[in-house]
């Protein structure tokens, strides 16, 4: 009697593993239930999983170009990616490669060795906001977003905070270059500080005259100003290609993942 619950658990595990392996290899292993709605929906979600992983890769590599909303079939993929362990791990790998590169830089005594960081989805994560707004499946709503920015509640991406502090300790001058507007300066620096970021050399936001300029141009122009000021931009970290491309680019650019939105 006492062993019966154990056997049931074992059977459940066994059934679970059969179902799992059939899901992974379903073109080869055909369950007798194939053709029923349950199986159809499972292979549909397998297809979505593969499609969405491919879409995500194409998006991260900029092959997808610009987009306004994630594909609707990818909502559960993006939710799972962002809230599970994978996002954290992907960010950590990027941070580790950044650290490895930074440690090869020969620092000059003039204090002009610099690193540029973007803010959103680079230093800070807006996951709490996007959890309430469909993980990029909803069209961007500026007034909702502005409210969130004003709350200054975005947490740090832990691996970015670690990288930031390590670079600071190594003697890099850190410039925070964001697409947020000048009128959000107070909220942004408050949020960065609350999240643990301190001691940057400059916090650069979009001014009134940057209004309609594409992000790539705006950021390149601001990096040019740094170069003209004698800074050597060794590294640049951002979740958007528009953080990294253009002119006056860093010697090495580090692209953090972001399957939730695209800024051209
Ligand atoms: C990143 O580097 C740290 C420190 O060396 C290490 O503990 C961690 O496992 C690395 N993370 C990944 C995902 O490689
Ligand atoms: C944006 O969100 C606000 C609420 O914060 C709402 O009143 C407004 O209708 C939304 N705008 C659009 C275009 O959905």
Please tell me the distance from the alpha carbon of residue 56 to that of residue 255, in angstroms, as a whole number.
Answer: 13
Q: Which domain holds residue 222?
A: 46-255
- pLDDT tens, position by position, 134-187: 999 999 999 999 999 999 999 999 999 999 999 999 999 999 999 999 999 999
Please tell me the distance from the alpha carbon of residue 69 to that of residue 118, in angstroms, as a whole number.
Answer: 21
Read off the pLDDT of each residue in 227-246 and give the average, rounded to a whole number: 98
254: helix, strand or coil: strand
- DSSP string for 58-95: HHHTTTT---SS--GGGHHHHHHHHHSHHHHHHHHHHH
Q: How far, in whole angstroms, is CA 256 from its chain's centroid?
A: 5
Q: Is 142 in the pocket of ligand 2 (CB under 6 A)?
A: no
Place of tokens 């056997």: 7
Establish if 37 belongs to a structural domain.
Answer: no
Mean pLDDT (the chain) is 88
> How confident is the model at residue 36, as a pLDDT?
45
- pLDDT tens, position by position, 122-137: 999 999 999 999 999 9
Q: Is the pLDDT of residue 33 over 50?
A: no
Q: Give residue 149 CA to ligand 2 midpoint distance, Å.
A: 16
> How confident is the model at residue 40, as a pLDDT?
55
| Tokens of residue 241, six digits | 């290609």
Length of the chain: 264
Q: What is the pTM of this model?
A: 0.84
Q: How confident is the model at residue 116 (pLDDT cuts 50, 70, 90)?
A: very high
Residue 141 CA: which ligand 2 atom is closest?
1
Establish if 180 belongs to a structural domain.
Answer: yes
Establish if 72 belongs to a structural domain.
Answer: yes
Residue 142 CA: which ligand 2 atom is closest?
1
Establish if 30 belongs to a structural domain.
Answer: no
Q: Give residue 139 CA to ligand 2 midpoint distance, Å.
A: 10
Taking the CA of 144 as reference, the closest ligand is 2
Q: Is the pLDDT of residue 3 over 70?
A: no
Q: Is the pLDDT of residue 20 over 80?
A: no
Protein residue with its CA nearest to atom 6 in ligand 1: 96
Taking the CA of 92 as reference, the closest ligand is 1
> How confident is the model at residue 15, as a pLDDT?
38
- pLDDT tens, position by position, 198-229: 999 999 999 999 988 999 999 999 999 999 99
Q: How confident is the model at residue 46 (pLDDT cuts 50, 70, 90)?
A: confident
Q: What is the number of structural domains in the chain? A: 1
Q: Which helix (H) or strand (E) holds 143?
A: helix 142-151
> How confident is the model at residue 21, as a pLDDT?
39
Q: What is the CATH number of the domain that holds 101?
A: 3.40.50.1000
Establish if 17 belongs to a structural domain.
Answer: no
| Tokens of residue 42, six digits | 């499972």
Establish if 41 belongs to a structural domain.
Answer: no
Q: Is the pLDDT of residue 105 over 60?
A: yes
Q: Is 72 in the pocket of ligand 2 (CB under 6 A)?
A: no
3-state secondary structure 227-251: HHCCCEEEEEEECCHHHCCCCCCCC
Establish if 28 belongs to a structural domain.
Answer: no
Establish if 96 belongs to a structural domain.
Answer: yes
């Amino acid at each position: 009697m006492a062993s019966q619950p154990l056997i049931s658990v074992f059977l459940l595990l066994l059934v679970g593993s059969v179902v799992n392996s059939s899901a992974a290899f379903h073109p080869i292993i055909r369950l007798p239930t194939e053709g029923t709605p349950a199986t159809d929906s499972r292979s549909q979600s397998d297809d979505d999983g593969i499609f969405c992983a491919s879409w995500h890769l194409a998006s991260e590599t900029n092959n997808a170009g610009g987009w306004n909303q994630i594909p609707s079939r990818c909502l559960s993929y993006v939710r799972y990616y962002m809230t599970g362990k994978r996002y954290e791990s992907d960010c950590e790998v990027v941070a580790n490669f950044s650290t490895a590169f930074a440690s090869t830089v020969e620092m000059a005594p003039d204090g002009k060795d610099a690193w540029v960081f973007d803010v959103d989805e680079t230093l800070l994560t807006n996951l709490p906001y996007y959890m309430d707004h469909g993980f990029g499946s909803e069209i961007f709503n500026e007034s909702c977003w502005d409210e969130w920015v004003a709350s200054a509640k975005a947490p740090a991406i832990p691996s970015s905070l670690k990288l930031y502090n390590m670079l600071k300790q190594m003697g890099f001058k850190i410039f925070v270059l964001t697409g947020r507007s000048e009128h959000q300066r107070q909220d942004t620096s408050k949020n960065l500080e609350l999240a643990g970021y301190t001691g940057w050399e400059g916090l650069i936001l979009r001014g009134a005259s940057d209004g309609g300029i594409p992000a790539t141009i705006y950021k390149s122009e601001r990096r040019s100003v740094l170069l003209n000021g004698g800074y050597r931009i060794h590294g640049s970290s951002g979740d958007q290609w528009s953080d990294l491309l253009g002119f006056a680019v860093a010697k090495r650019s580090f692209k953090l993942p972001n399957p939730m939105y695209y800024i051209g």
